Amino acid sequence: MPKVSRLEVIQTGARRRWTLEEKRRIVAESDSGARQVSATARRYGLSTGQLFTWRRLARKGRLGGDAEPVAFAEAVIMDRGAATAALPPPAGACGRLEIVLADGLRVIVEQGIDADALARLIVALERR
């Protein structure tokens, strides 16, 4: 295998963070006349799809991300002795648990998984 003598870095288009005020101003500008969406999107380096999404969210009053917050259930890992004294699972429970780690990785485990093995798995995944 030949050695690499030159490495070229190609810019991938880093994500830009827009403030709520910037988004509102851009959406208002795109509403100012016919054919303004594509021209406004080009002017600010946006895709027309992104601008249309902002316009739709603005109409619904959700442009600033002020949607209902997502609630999470508390998860507790307990030993088998304590688990037998716990309440039975609710009707319709499928016996699976989905764990979403901070980086978005999802782990789905079946009922009855060894708690120690699960803890080791999560630690290993968070280290990667």
* CATH number of 18's domain: 1.10.10
Q: Mean per-residue pLDDT for 8-26?
A: 78
Tokens of 112: 């009855």
21 and 57 in a single domain? The answer is yes
Q: Mean per-residue pLDDT for 82-97?
A: 59
How many domains is the chain built from? Answer: 2
Note the pLDDT tens digit of each residue in 21-59. 999 999 999 988 777 899 999 999 899 999 999 999 999
Q: In sequence order, what are the beta bridge partners of 106? A: 100
Buried b (16+ CB within 10 A) or exposed e, 80-118: eeeeeeeeeeeeeeeeeeeeeeeeeeeeebeeeeeeeee
Instruction: Answer yes or no: is 5 within a domain.
Output: no
Residue range(s) defining the domain that contains residue 110: 80-127
49 and 87 in a single domain? The answer is no
Full-model pTM? 0.43
